[in-house]
């Protein structure tokens, strides 16, 4: 898995007008374009409102600042971050993915002692709750992550089929025996 603590490179096409504005703003602010872009991205992301996934099961329609939600679920552990994103609710992935992931992490097979959300990076004291407590076996999930990903892809490609994860594993094992 990639080291998520380092900076990543993104590529974006922008109109020449915005590029010229970035160049000029960089000079005006006395900082490199990259630093300016980071600040502008953060500022823009702070302007987005997101549904409150930490409402303790109540669908009250409340909103939180997107970056506050993001900071609550962020972790450098890519698997844990993706699980948190999916489990936060269908607004943060899709209804289909959310249903599939919640059924997986609620299954007895993946039950364990790691609290998926933990203390929400310190926000639990402020909000007082999470959508639902998921106690998972994170080591097992990481061990089977590629297979879980394959299972989700299989379900996407075969919309008329919906085997359980355990059935999917048995199906793959029986195919590999042949």
> Quick one: 40 and 80 in the same domain?
no
Residues 36 and 54 in one domain: no
Residues 121, 69, single domain; the answer is yes
**Position 40 in a domain:** yes
| 116 lies in the same domain as 61 | yes
Is position 165 within any domain?
no
Do 37 and 45 form a contact (C-beta atoms < 8 A)? no
Provide the residue range defining the domain that includes 122.
Answer: 49-143
Q: Are residues 78 and 40 in the same domain?
A: no
Under a CB-based contact definition with an 8 Å cutoff, are residues 67 and 42 in contact? yes
Residue 120: predicted pLDDT: 85
Distances (CA, A) of 90 to 15, 120, 124, 140: 33, 18, 21, 24
pLDDT of 57: 47
Q: Which two tokens stand for residue 56?
A: 């303790």
* Domain presence at residue 26: yes
User: Structurally, how many domains does the chain consist of?
Assistant: 2
Per-residue pLDDT of the chain (178 residues; tens, 9 = 90+): 455 557 888 899 999 999 999 999 999 999 999 999 999 999 999 999 988 887 654 545 678 889 998 999 999 999 999 999 888 888 888 788 888 888 888 889 999 999 988 888 888 777 666 656 789 999 999 999 999 989 988 988 888 888 889 899 998 888 776 6
What does the pLDDT read at residue 1?
47
Q: What is the pTM of this model?
A: 0.79
Residues 26 and 86 in one domain: no
Alpha carbons 67 and 82: distance in angstroms, whole number: 16
41 and 84 inside one domain: no
* Contact call for residues 11 and 26 (beta carbons, < 8 A): no
């Amino acid at each position: 898995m990639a080291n998520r603590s380092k900076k990543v490179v993104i590529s974006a096409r922008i109109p020449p007008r915005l590029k010229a504005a970035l160049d000029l703003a960089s000079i005006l602010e006395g900082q490199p374009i990259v630093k300016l872009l980071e600040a502008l991205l953060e500022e823009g992301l702070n302007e987005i409102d997101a549904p409150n996934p930490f409402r303790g099961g109540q669908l009250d329609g409340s909103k939180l600042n997107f970056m506050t939600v993001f900071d609550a679920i962020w972790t450098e552990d890519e698997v844990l971050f993706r699980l948190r994103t999916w489990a936060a609710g269908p607004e943060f992935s899709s209804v289909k993915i959310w249903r599939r992931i919640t059924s997986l992490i609620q299954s007895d097979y993946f039950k364990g002692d790691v609290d998926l959300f933990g203390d929400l990076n310190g926000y639990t004291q402020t909000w007082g709750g999470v959508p639902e407590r998921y106690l998972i076996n994170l080591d097992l999930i990481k061990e089977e992550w590629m297979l879980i990903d394959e299972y989700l892809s299989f379900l996407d490609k075969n919309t008329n089929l919906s085997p359980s994860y355990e059935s999917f594993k048995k199906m793959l094992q029986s195919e590999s025996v042949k």
